[in-house]
Structures are given as C-alpha cells and as structure tokens.
Amino acid sequence: PYHNRVHAASVLHATHALLEQTDLAEAAAAALCWEGTETGRCAQIVRLASLLAAAAHDFEHRGLTNDYLVRTCDSRAICYNDQHVNENHHVAAAFAVLQRPGCDFLAGLP
C-alpha cells in the first residue's frame, strides 16, 4: 500500500528539507508567536510540531479510504462518528504512543 513506512519517511524527509531550506518556520513563528516569547523559540516549536505532524500524518493507515470505512461500518468509522475517520485515528493513535512509558519525548518541554 501507498501509506506505509517508506511514505512516512519520505514525508518526514521532505518536511525536514522544507524547514531547512526555507524560512517557513521563522515566518510561521512570526505570525503565531505568543506575546513575550522569543521568535527563535517559537520557530523551534514550529519545526518540532511540523516534524511530529509529518511523522504521524498517516500512522496506522490501513490503505482504506474514509468513504470505504464509513460505508462498511468499520469500527474506526463508528469510533469517530464517520468524521475524518483516518485523520482522527492517525492523531489519536500517535498520541496514544506518546502516552506510553518512556515514549513521551514532549513531556520535558516548558
């Protein structure tokens, strides 16, 4: 299937290249930075969030479309009330991994 580990690595690599070769993180930080926070620190957070999103964007994808999952009353479709089934599962499953002991590398962030 297309949505596999190679695809995930490709998206993660492309995101890293985009962040390294452009000022995208800095531009986003300037627009999103909350008052009193250094723009450079915000840019670091934007980079981290972008890389985490890239790594998790198709996590546990089974190669089935949202429409198929809804039409077949798949358990994931039921769990997410037929709304953005794959996308909701990707993020929920990724956050579940982060909750495992020793896996939450974000826990130490201020």
The encoded tokens of residue 41 equal 């620190």
Q: Which of 102, 76, 98, 99 is nearest to 89 (CA)?
A: 76
Burial of 11 (0-12, 13-18, 19+ CB in 10 A): middle
User: What's the confidence (pLDDT) of residue 40?
Assistant: 87
pLDDT band, residue 1 (cuts 50/70/90) = confident
Annotated binding site: 7, 57-58
Domain ranges, ordered by start, for the chain: 1-58, 63-110
pLDDT digits (tens, 9 = 90+) for 28-76: 998 888 777 788 889 999 999 999 999 999 999 999 999 999 999 999 9
Binding site for Zn(2+): residue ranges? 7, 57-58
Residue 26: CB partners within 8 Å, gap ≥ 6? 39, 43
Mean pLDDT of 79-84: 98
Residue 18 has a CB neighbour count (10 Å cut-off) of 13
Query: Catalytic residues, which ones?
Result: 3
